[in-house]
Chains A and B, each alone.
Chain A
Amino acid sequence: MYLEFFSVYRYFKEYIEASGGLLELKKALDWSVWYAVKWWREIRETGAAGDNVFAKSLYTSLLLQGFIDEDGNIKKEVERPELPKGLYAREWVEMHERFDQLGAAKIARDEVDRNALEILYSDIQIQGWHRIMIKTFLKAARMVSGLAILEPYSKEGHLAVLVYEDYAPSLYVGYEPNAALVDIAKSVAPQARFIAAPSACDIREKFDAVLLIEKMQWMPDPAKELECIKKALKGGGLLYIAQPVVESMPGYLAITSALGAVHVFTWKQVENLLKMHFTLEKRLIKTMPFYGAVWAHPER
């Protein structure tokens, strides 16, 4: 699970330092596993492990990482980790704790207060570790200024804010099926343009870059959506992708799943979907703390 630490350190040094160092980061990541096992146990014991993305994400990630067997029985117990001392590492643990307070079984049964989940989503977007993680990824992926950027599923516009803080895009367009979120995004990032649209198929302009940062889980039909994204991308244009996958942090994946995801993927599934329309330019990391890569439009 931690085999990728070298790559992570190479590209995400700032993120690790902000977490308080490698050891602190490991402690924080251990908590994600600990909570995932806890939530899985709770939803199994209460018979809530039905057909929902939250339960599926817990099952697939814990199975793949050897914590449960195919029948869902826990085969590897996880000891309660030591609390990290670093500010951002603690913030990460606290995010799991807040989610835990909502009740895993309630979430799996869809009985949880939806407003609480909505508020948690906004909370996560402004947490320090999340900002640092995205900014570090964009830097590692060698993002530059002057690009016409398309952001699928732009939600509340937080990503646009981060991009404008460090770069100067020539154009920034976000599309989002939820019109209420489009209005919020317009207020959060007034320099950008946000459109209420269900898919990239409705976008007529051409872009130099697409930002797929924690986005693929929202796509009802990822293959079709990626095909439309390809049409919106100029020849040789780049697609920057950072996607939590089942080999990543099981707790965080479960949280993002509970916040309205439609799918969970392995890193290989992500690559197979991308391969249908794009060519791999550079893979930064396979799984830790997410799948991170740059893909290109095949026509130069």
Chain B
Amino acid sequence: MQLVFHVVKNCKCGNVVYVEVPQREELSIRCPKCGASIQISADEFVEEVKLRDCEVRDWERIGALSTTVQQMVLQALESGRAPKGLWPLLVKLRDVGALICT
């Protein structure tokens, strides 16, 4: 489980480039299709939590969450990604053993 930063950029050749980095910083990349230079400013990156392989080990804890937040956690587990606002809760659930992440 880690915090990552991503951005989706459109190259002038029409290719859609997805970039994911561990730190928010200014970046210059080459389009894998046409080789054109693509500039990305630090502000363009969106933070999110990447869950990788996480599974629920304590359903009682998950069941004790509010319905909306339960859904947010379950959707995050399903997609492997979570909004950053969910980070504190996911860390606590991991720390109490309700979530096991590899």
Contact = CB atoms under 8 A, between A and B. Distances in A.
A73 interface: no
B89 interface: yes
A103 B27 CA distance: 52
A98 B65 contact: yes
Interface residues of B, number: 22
B64 A126 contact: no
Interface residues of A, number: 24
Interface string A231-265: 00000000000000000000000000000000000
A161 B88 contact: no
Given A118-B92, A190-B47, A184 B65 contact: no
Contacts of A101: 64
B92 A187 contact: no
Interface string B79-101: 00000111111011101100000
Interface in A53-67: none
Contacts of B28: none
A187 B69 contact: no
A272 B68 CA distance: 38
Contact of A115 (B47, B85, B96): B96
B87 A95 contact: no
Contact of B88 (A91, A122, A127, A190): A122
A119 B64 contact: yes
B89 A126 contact: yes
A207 to B, nearest CB: 22
A158 B84 CA distance: 10
Given A98-B65, A126-B72, 11 more contacts: A94-B66, A119-B64, A126-B69, A126-B85, A128-B68, A161-B84, A184-B88, A187-B87, A188-B87, A188-B88, A189-B84
